[in-house]
Amino acid sequence: MLEIHDVREPCVTLKPLDRRFPELLTGRSGWLCRVIQPGVLRADARILRVGVGVPVTT
């Protein structure tokens, strides 16, 4: 079980490589998660939102 607790922002250390990197990666960085309960996650596993809204299947 994972808890998504923040959006991961593009790293400013990429800017010296190419000034456009932070802007190009906005919205594509992902999330920061905490492991609440360890386990194995299969590629075809069902994903449920626990405690917030309705179940989500992907």
Whether the predicted model's global pTM rises above the 0.75 cut: no
**Cβ atoms 21, 10 nearer than 8 A:** yes
pLDDT band with cut points at 50, 70 and 90 for residue 55:
low
Confidence tier at 56 by pLDDT (50, 70, 90): low
- Is 57 exposed, middle or buried (CB count within 10 Å of its CB: 0-12, 13-18, 19+)? exposed
What percent of the chain shows pLDDT beyond 90? 3
Whole-angstrom Cα distance, residue 21 to residue 56?
32
What are the pLDDT digits (tens) for 12-48? 777 788 888 777 777 677 788 889 889 988 899 887 7
Domain boundaries, the chain: 1-58
Angle, vertex CA 55, rays to CA 54 and CA 58, nearest 5: 135
pLDDT at 38: 92
